[in-house]
Amino acid sequence: MKVSLIKIGGNIIDNPSELEKFLTDFSKIEGHKVLIHGGGKSATKMAESIGLVPQMIDGRRITDAAMLDVVVMIYAGQINKNIVAQLQAKNNNAIGFSGADGNLIQSTKRNHPTIDYGFVGDVKQVNTSLLATLLENNIVPVFCAITHDKNGQLLNTNADTIASELAISLSQDFDVTLTYCFEKQGVLSDSEEDDSVITEINAELYEKLKAEKVIHSGMIPKLDNCFNSLSKGVQTIKIGHHSMLQNSSILHTTIKL
Which residues belong to the annotated binding site?
A: 39-40, 61, 156
Q: Are 31 and 60 in contact (CB under 8 A)?
A: no
Q: Are 107 and 123 in contact (CB under 8 A)?
A: yes
Question: Which residues are annotated binding-site positions for substrate?
Answer: 39-40, 61, 156
Q: Is 28 exposed, middle or buried (0-12, 13-18, 19+ CB in 10 A)?
A: exposed
- How do strand 140-143 and strand 105-109 relate by DSSP bridges? unpaired
